[in-house]
Amino acid sequence: MKRFTLSFAMALIMVSPAALAKTVDAVASFSVLADIVRQVGGEHVKVTELVGPDGDPHAFEPAPKDSQSLVKADVVFVSGLGLEGWIDRLVTASGYRGKVLTASTGVNPRKMEEEGKTVTDPHAWNSARNGALYARNIMNALIAADPQDADYFRQHGEAYIQKLEKLDAWAKAEFAAIPQAKRKVLTSHDAFGYFGAEYGVQFLSPVGFSTEAESSASDVAGLIDQIKQENIATYFIENQTDPRLVKQIASASGAKPGGELYPEALSAADGPASTYEAAFRHNVTTLAGSMK
């Protein structure tokens, strides 16, 4: 009996720290945010994304399986700034009582007038500088959820933050080399406000911050006139929106296609924007390439 007890104790001692390590069960509202959580959390986090690749976080309708994901979660991550108008209903319906972490905390919000109202632009992650802030908020939340792996989260988080800061500096250098007069493009909806402010690019779009908004005939006509007056040469479609309206405007204004952008949804794993870093790099390279 003593021999069995001693052997059992020795077996416990020999169990590796990795075997005892905790895995944080996290839910993230959409694919971009889910990737940032994965990059920071590494092997100590399991992430379920509610809005997957090529999905529209504005128009998302939660299903019963999403409530089940929240019930099992240790922490839920949202971007905030009004992006996930459906999250409160989902939290209530699921009965989830844990923490809902807003990754955009600390962002200087961009506001503008839309249909006579002052609204907040929710697309803060499209500035890599803000992306680094998201990563830091996520790192701190994971440390709070799993203190025993704090050193691991700090190491992964700080390395990823440095990578995003370098990405931000690279993007600024790319656009600084292009004359300001050429830094104008047409996109499907107003998702690049933070990008434009950070990197000196002017974006025009027929639809406002939300893809659920609609443009009047007079708005479209005015946009076509503005594109002609400002000699905007290129238009871009977005992977998560219907491209028909922007193509119609481009046809009427003479703008030529410049490719596809990924402002609020990643591509599938085999696509050009399967991570936040890859999506940002793709957007910068595609936009800058059209201006040279």
Tens-digit pLDDT profile for residues 26-41: 999 999 999 999 999 9
Amino acid at position 49, single letter: E
Number of residues assigned to the chain: 292
pLDDT given for residue 120 in this prediction: 92
Q: Which residues contact 279 (CB under 8 A, 6 or more apart)?
A: 32, 262, 266, 267, 273
184-186 vs 75-78, strand pairing mode: unpaired
Per cent of the chain over pLDDT 70 is 80
Q: What are the φ/ψ torsions at residue 276 (nearest 5 degrees)?
A: -60, -45
Rounded distance between C-alpha atoms, residue 197 and residue 287, angstroms: 15
- List of domains in the chain: 17-169 (3.40.50.1980), 175-291 (3.40.50.1980)
- Confidence check: pLDDT of 8 > 50: no
pLDDT mean over 270-279: 96
Confidence of residue 256 (pLDDT cuts 50, 70, 90): confident
pLDDT given for residue 113 in this prediction: 74
- Confidence check: pLDDT of 279 > 90: yes
Does 118 or 5 have the greater pLDDT score? 118
- Confidence check: pLDDT of 214 > 60: no
Structure tokens at 289: 């390439």
- Confidence check: pLDDT of 10 > 80: no
pLDDT mean over 95-116: 91
String of DSSP letters for 139-188: HHHHHHH-GGGHHHHHHHHHHHHHHHHHHHHHHHHHHHTS-GGG-EEE-S
- Confidence check: pLDDT of 62 > 50: yes
* Residue 60: C-alpha distances to residues 11, 29, 52, 144, 247 (Å): 49, 10, 10, 29, 24
pLDDT given for residue 162 in this prediction: 98
pLDDT mean over 98-104: 96
- Give the closest residue to 102 by CA, choosing from 73, 128, 129, 133: 133
* Residue 56: C-alpha distances to residues 130, 265, 267 (Å): 21, 7, 12
Rounded distance between C-alpha atoms, residue 72 and residue 26, angstroms: 9
pLDDT given for residue 239 in this prediction: 61
pLDDT given for residue 208 in this prediction: 47
* Residue 263 neighbours by CB distance under 10 Å: 25
* Residue 37: C-alpha distances to residues 46, 126, 132, 276, 277 (Å): 9, 16, 12, 10, 12
- Confidence check: pLDDT of 282 > 90: yes
How confident is the model over 190-206, as pLDDT tens digits?
789 999 999 999 887 65
* Residue 146: C-alpha distances to residues 45, 201, 225 (Å): 10, 40, 55
pLDDT given for residue 240 in this prediction: 58
Confidence of residue 222 (pLDDT cuts 50, 70, 90): low
Torsion of CA 156, 163, 136, 60, to 10 degrees: -100
Does the model's pTM come out above 0.95? no
- Confidence check: pLDDT of 17 > 80: no
